Amino acid sequence: MSGHSTYVPKSDAGKWLEERLPIISLMHSAAVSMPNPRNLNYWWVFGGIAMFMLIVQIVTGIILAMHYTPHADMAFNSVEHIMRDVNWGWMLRYTHANGASMFFIAVYIHILRGMYYGSYKAPREVLWLLGMLIYLLMMATGFMGYVLPWGQMSFWGATVITNFFEVVPFIGDDIRTLLWGGFAVDNPTLNRFFSLHYLLPFVILGVVVLHIWALHVPGSNNPLGIEPKTKQDTMSFHPYFTMKDLYAIVLFAIVLFYFVFFNPNFMGHPDNYIPANSLVTPAHIVPEWYYLPFYAILRSIPDKLGGVVGMFGAILIMFVVPWLDTSKVRSAKFRPAYRIFFWIFVFNGILLGYFGQVSTTDDFLGIHGVTNLLVSRISTIYYFGFFIVILPVLGLIEKTKPLPNSISEAVLGVEGAAEEAALLAAAEAKA
C-alpha cells in the first residue's frame, strides 16, 4: 500500500516542489489518502496517542532543560526552582513526569493490542521489531530521566540499575565503572544521563518514522486479522481516522491532565523529594511503575546473574514473538483458546507489577504460608511459558473459528456488502 498517494499538486509552486522533493505527496499518502481498514476499533487509537505523548514529552523536556542544572550539587534545587520560580514550571514538570507514565500506558495498550489481534505476524514483523526497539529506547530514556531530579529514588534507582551490569562475566566491573565515570553513581553519571536523556527521544522519533513507514507498506492490521481485498474494505485516513484519533487524544489528554492538575504525585514516589544521599538507602527501593513487572521477575530469581538475565530476557523475548507464534490466524477473535491465555497473560503482567513493589517475604494476600516470592515465581514461569510454550504449541493444536470472506462482509453481512458494492459501482460508472 505504499505509494498510494492521490496527491496532485495544483499550484505552480506545488508542482515545482513536487518535481524536486515529493515531500508533500509523501505526507499526503501517510496522513491523508492512506487506506485504512474500515473496521478498526478504538484499540487502534493508541498509536496516535503514543505519538502525541512523544511530542508532549519532547516539547516539555526541551523547556525543562532550559531551567534545569545537571550537576550533583544543584540538580535537586534546580528542579525545586522549576517548581517554585519558573513561570508555569510546576505545570510543565508535572506534565513531563506524568506524561512519561501516560506514554507508557499508551504504549503498553498499543503492544497488547498488537498481541491480541496478531498484528506482529507476516508481513508486519519489521513493524513489530521497530516498535519493540522504540519500547526498549523508552525504557532507557525513562530510567535516565528519573535520575535527573537527583532525589533519593533517583540516586538509588541509578545505583541498582547500573549494578545490573556487574553480572556480565569478566568485564562487568569495568562496564559499571564506565557507566558511572567513577567508583559510584556521582556527578559524572548525572551529566551523561542528562546528555543521553536529551538525545534518546530524538532517536525514538527517528525510529517512529521508520515504524510508520513500515506500517504503510502492508497497511494496518484490523480486528478481524484479514487483509482488505477491495476498496470497499478501507476508508481514507483523513478525515475518518484523523478525526477519530484526535477525539481519542482529547479524551486521553483529559486523563493526563487530571493527574497533572489534581493528583500530580500519584505515580511518583515521595522519597524522591529527599535530596540524594550516597550514605543512606531508602527503606523500600522501588522503580517507576512501568518497570515493576520486570523488577518482579528480577527479584523472583534467586541468583544474581539469573535474575538480571531473566529481567532483560523478559523484554528481549518480545522481539521474537512473530517467530514464536505458529498460528496462521492473526486475530484472537477467531482463536478461542489463545484469547483465554492472552487475558491470563495480561492479568499475570499486572500481578507481576504488584509483586514488583511489595515485600517478597510477606504472605500473598494474607494467605498463611504462601509468600509473595512463591507466587511471583509462578507468575514468572507463566510469563516465559506464554512465549516459549503456549505461543508455538497453541498455533499447531488450536481449532480456530472460520474467518469471514472480507471485512465488508463481516461489517455489513453478505447481502449488505453486495448491496454496497453495487451502489459503489453505480456511482463510479456515473462519474
Partner 1 sequence: MADASKLEQPGRRDFLYIATGAFGALGVSVGAWPLLDQMNPDASVKALASIEVDISTIGEGESMTVNWRGKPVFIRHRTAVEIKASADVPLSELKDPQTDAERAEKPEWLIMVGVCTHLGCIPLGEAGEYNGWFCPCHNSVYDTAGRIRKGPAPLNMEIPEYEFLSDTKIKIG
CB of 74 to partner 1, least distance (A): 13
CB nearer partner 1, residue 250 or residue 388? 250
Residue of 24, 91, 112, 389 that binds partner 1 (CB under 8 A): 91
The torsion angle over the Cα atoms of residues 313, 318, 322 and 323, rounded to 10 degrees, is: 10
Residue of 3, 10, 11, 87 that binds partner 1 (CB under 8 A): 87
User: Catalytic residues, which ones?
Assistant: 216, 220, 244-245, 288
Footprint of partner 1 on residues 156-185 (CB under 8 A)?
Answer: none
Q: Does 92 bind partner 1 (CB under 8 A)?
A: yes
Q: Does 51 bind partner 1 (CB under 8 A)?
A: no
CB of 87 to partner 1, least distance (A): 5
Residue of 13, 66, 279, 427 that binds partner 1 (CB under 8 A): 66
CB nearer partner 1, residue 63 or residue 97? 63
- Whose grid coordinates read 548525572? 190
Q: Does 219 bind partner 1 (CB under 8 A)?
A: no
Q: Does 112 bind partner 1 (CB under 8 A)?
A: no
Q: Which of 273, 291, 271 lies closest to 282 in space, CA to CA?
A: 271
Q: Does 102 bind partner 1 (CB under 8 A)?
A: no
- φ and ψ at residue 322, rounded to 5 degrees: -55, -25
Q: Does 48 bind partner 1 (CB under 8 A)?
A: no
CB nearer partner 1, residue 257 or residue 312? 257
Q: Cα–Cα distance between 293 and 161 in angstroms, integer?
A: 15
CB nearer partner 1, residue 84 or residue 368? 84
CB of 336 to partner 1, least distance (A): 42
CB-based contacts of 332-337 (< 8 A; 24+ apart in sequence): 332/116, 332/117, 332/118, 333/117, 333/223, 333/224, 333/225, 333/401, 334/224, 334/225, 334/400, 334/401, 334/402, 334/403, 335/394, 335/398, 335/400, 335/401, 336/398, 336/399, 336/400, 336/401, 337/394, 337/398
Chain CA centroid to CA 131, Å: 8
CB nearer partner 1, residue 62 or residue 426? 62
CB nearer partner 1, residue 38 or residue 67? 67
Residue of 42, 88, 202, 347 that binds partner 1 (CB under 8 A): 88
Q: CA 124 → CA 56, 79, 121, 215, 388, distances in Å?
A: 28, 42, 6, 7, 20
Q: Which stretch binds partner 1 (CB under 8 A): 32-40, 83-91, 129-137, 366-374?
A: 83-91
Residue of 41, 73, 85, 413 that binds partner 1 (CB under 8 A): 85
Q: Does 11 bind partner 1 (CB under 8 A)?
A: no
Count Cβ neighbours within 10 Å for each residue of 283-302 and write b for 16 or more, e otherwise: eeebbbbbbbbbbbbbbbbe
CB nearer partner 1, residue 72 or residue 82? 82
Q: Which stretch binds partner 1 (CB under 8 A): 58-66, 125-133, 227-235, 294-302?
A: 58-66
Chain CA centroid to CA 150, Å: 25
Any bridge partners for residue 236, and if so which?
35
Sign of the dihedral through C-alpha 162, 166, 167, 168: positive
Q: Does 97 bind partner 1 (CB under 8 A)?
A: no
Q: Does 58 bind partner 1 (CB under 8 A)?
A: no
CB nearer partner 1, residue 92 or residue 208? 92
Q: Give every CB contact of residue 170 below 8 A, 6+ residues apart in sequence.
A: none
Burial of 196 per CB tally in 10 Å (0-12, 13-18, 19+): middle
CB of 195 to partner 1, least distance (A): 22
Which stretches within 292-390 are classed as H helix?
A: 292-300, 304-316, 321-324, 336-355, 372-385
Q: Does 258 bind partner 1 (CB under 8 A)?
A: no
Q: What is residue 235's DSSP assignment?
A: E
Q: Which stretch binds partner 1 (CB under 8 A): 80-88, 141-149, 192-200, 337-345?
A: 80-88
- Give contact residues for partner 1 (rule: CB under 8 A): 59, 63, 66-67, 81, 84-89, 91-92
